Amino acid sequence: MSGKSEIIVDTRYGKLNGTTENGLYVFKGIPYASPTTGEKRWLPPQPPVPWSGIRDATDYGTIAPQPESRLGMISEFEVPEPQSEDCLFLNIWTPGLDNSRRPVMFWIHGGAFSMGSGSQPMYRGGELAKAGNIVLVTINYRLGVLGFLNLNEVTGGKIPATGNEGLLDQIQALKWVKENIAAFGGDSENITVFGESAGGMSIGCLLAMPAAKGLFKKAIIESTVGDMAVSLESAVKTARVFLDIIGISPDNVKGLRSLKVEKLLQAQQELAVKTGGMAPVIPVVDGKVLPDFPLKVLRKGFAREIPVIVGNNLDEQKLFWAVLPDFPKVDESGLKKRVAKLAPANFVDTIIETYRAARAKRGESTEPVEILSAILTDITFRFKAIAIAEAQCKNGQAAYNYLFTWKSPAMGGKLGACHALEIGFLFGNRDDMFCGSGPEADELSAKMRDAWVAFARTGNPSSKLLGVWPAYCEKRETMILDRTCHVEVAPYEEERKIWKIIGEDNIRGSLP
């Protein structure tokens, strides 16, 4: 295949006209649900309305309404895309429209539940599908206050939004894929969900949601954050603050549903300032759609049949500092003040000295800012990944852990192995400014794709290019992804142990 040519596929909802690109069949902007606009705003998604004739699927659909990304300064892949409240579309890259029953990899994008799309340039091109002979699916889902604002309680049920409508969009997309992917050469009984940051958090929630049961067989969780959800009590408080900002009574359902999107986004930005976080709204433990905090549900064995890969990047925190006017300047006094907000006062000095000694032993910087970055990365990202692996292992399921340590060349190397850096390597769309280039980068990219695809195919990420990847369970064996990929037993163990002594209930970590 070369160039572009029309190609027709018949789905349960109608015929689609796609194209061929880069040796793949490509279908873009496929509606997997009916528009959630007007009176359907804040309601669960419904299946798409069937169409007659042939629907064009050669252009990406509009993406969820969202504020402008602040990451354009470090990545050429951050480009604006047309937005609309009518945004529930997915995209498919496949090597063949046949009966080969290829593994399906279903990508859920990140972006603090308020930014991003399934059609961002970093995910385009289908390199992962081509290299691994799999079917790749990427999706949009409702973001921000349109997808994750709980309104049920404050409106007395007049708007029955649980705050999990964005997750329900993901489930509806999975249902569409399960129903239709055979027509695109995929195996509906071998679907792997994978995602990063808010996408990883989403997968943690999907693993704990009864409505998602049976829709996928494997899960890859990259850089999940915190508890992956908030309590109903917290979500209700957030909803009240939001209604105060927009100045509309909770009884005024018509007014809420007729608010212009621009007004909602403006209020969402103000909400982020008032709540002091990058993600003003995230999934909600409402007791029904999401019965409990995902980690609690996983520890009880709810997803014991699902093998997982879960991991994070070594310097996650540094990406969030990159959007500030300047990297934080932290001295020893400032370090102690920051750590005192995260842990009991009697542990502050012990924590800092544990990190300093462990880093010195490894030949790493012991500057206060580097110690703070490591602490924030650990309690916000790494320990949650480890906890998920431990939960699956305890319930008899293989869980594979990784630590991505390749350093970004951006900003003179200040970013380190920061949040989101691994995505370009995985999808084969590396931004040289952010990810780096050269033979070693090419090799790492190929090894990661090989392992992710092997896992999607068999449930085990051991592969020809990467080699044997043992499960985390018994020895805390972790795959280090860098210029030289290798397995380490219990890496960064001193840091993990000190927080284990403190106890997770005493850690006051939050979203970055």
Please identify every residue annotated as catalytic. 197, 316, 419
Are 137 and 104 spatial neighbours (Cβ–Cβ below 8 Å)? yes
Q: For residue 107, list its beta bridge partners.
A: 138, 194
Report how far Cα 387 is from the mean position of its chain's Cα atoms: 17
Distance separating alpha carbons of residues 399 and 376, to the nearest angstrom: 24
In contact, 385 and 327? CB cutoff 8 Å: no
Closest-CA residue to 106 (of 80, 141, 71, 75): 141
**Cβ atoms of residues 208 and 287 within 8 Å:** no
Strand bridging mode 486-489 / 477-481: antiparallel
For residue 138, give the nearest of 158, 160, 155, 121 by alpha carbon.
121
Kindly give the residue spans of alpha helices, DSSP state H, lying in 149-231. 165-180, 198-206
Strand blocks (E) in 43-128: 54-56, 89-94, 102-108
* Cα 102 from Cα 135, distance rounded (Å): 6
Contact (CB, 8 A) for 258 and 124: no
How is residue 190 annotated by DSSP?
E
> Residue 350 and residue 354: Cα distance in Å, rounded?
6
Alpha-carbon distance of 212 to 214, in angstroms, equals: 6
What's the burial of 143, exposed, middle or buried (CB within 10 Å: 0-12/13-18/19+)? buried
Q: In the numeric block, which tokens belong to residue 22? A: 């880069």
